[in-house]
Amino acid sequence: VSSNEVLVPERVSAVLGKNITLGCRVEFGISISPDYARRLSFLNPSVHDATVVLEGVGFQDIGSYTCKVATFPLGNTQASTTVYVSAGSTALVDGGNESVAATCIAERGRPAAEVSWETELFGRSEVRYVLEPRRHSQGHTLTCVVRHPALQTEFRIPYVLNVQFAPEVTVVGYDQNWFVGQDNVKLDCGAKANPPAHHFSWTRLDGPMPDGVDIVNNTFSFTRPLERNDSGLYRCEVSNDIGPRSQDVHVWIQ
């Protein structure tokens, strides 16, 4: 870093109600505006580091923040960080009752601002957006739209739904044409889950697990040619933080 260069993040994304850290690194002294003195503190104050922490972020904190540096004899320099504030993400669970998915509030407007929601999902839209959480809603975006006479254009805040659900399990690899003596066959167990699946297990339901198989995470492999008694009912069980789910496959060796 040269003695008159100021380094700050180009963009900072914040979550409503959380703290944010606005980094500003310089080689000499710093000068910070006192506007946010009540909620602002220096992280590691020194002549080399002007990083500050802004507590209890609200939508009113959206904007550009400038770190100004005065050095001698090299003069003054500055750099800016733009802060964006989102409402964060509230976890909803698939199959739950009708719940508040998000709340959008426009404060201190005169006259009061008009608030609405835009989305492709089915739900009730007021200041609060209410829906029955289902797994197909995971990752969909709600957009809070604020309109006010003082705004040249409407103010839009995107909000991504986070719907947690147990694994959707699929088993692939068996094509119903396995035969005695066939080599290099395996079953792969896949799972779509939120949060991600963290445990896979394989069992045989109609008898003991045959010898000569290799189980690594989600893959079940025969390490030898197939035999007639490999026919059977196999199950892959997958778990995440919501719970376990399974998928069965009936293998018939011709």
**Domain end point (choices 108, 127, 160):** 160
Establish if 153 belongs to a structural domain: yes
Q: Tell whether 119 and 69 lie within a shared domain.
A: no
**Residue 210 pLDDT greater than 80, yes or no:** yes
Same domain, 202 and 185: yes
Q: Are strands 75-86 and 11-15 parallel, antiparallel or unpaired?
A: parallel
| CATH code of the domain containing 236 | 2.60.40.10
Are 24 and 100 within one domain? no
Tell me: pLDDT of 212 over 60.
yes
pLDDT tens for 59-79 read: 677 788 888 887 777 788 889
- Place 1 in a pLDDT band, splitting at 50, 70 and 90: very low
Number of domains in the chain: 3
Average pLDDT for the chain: 85
Kindly state whether residue 204 falls inside one of the protein's structural domains: yes
Tell me the pTM: 0.60
**Tens-place pLDDT, residues 116-165:** 888 877 665 567 888 889 999 898 998 999 999 988 999 898 988 889 99
182 and 128 belong to one structural domain:
no
What is the SS3 assignment for 92?
Answer: strand
Residue-range definition of the domain harbouring residue 149: 91-160
For residue 2, is it within any domain?
no
Which of 65, 86, 107 delimits the end of a domain? 86
Q: Of 86, 120, 145, which one is at a domain's C-terminal end?
A: 86
DSSP code, position 126 = S
Q: What is the structure's pLDDT at 34?
A: 55
d(CA 178, CA 250): 12
Closest CA to 77 of 85, 89, 87, 69: 69
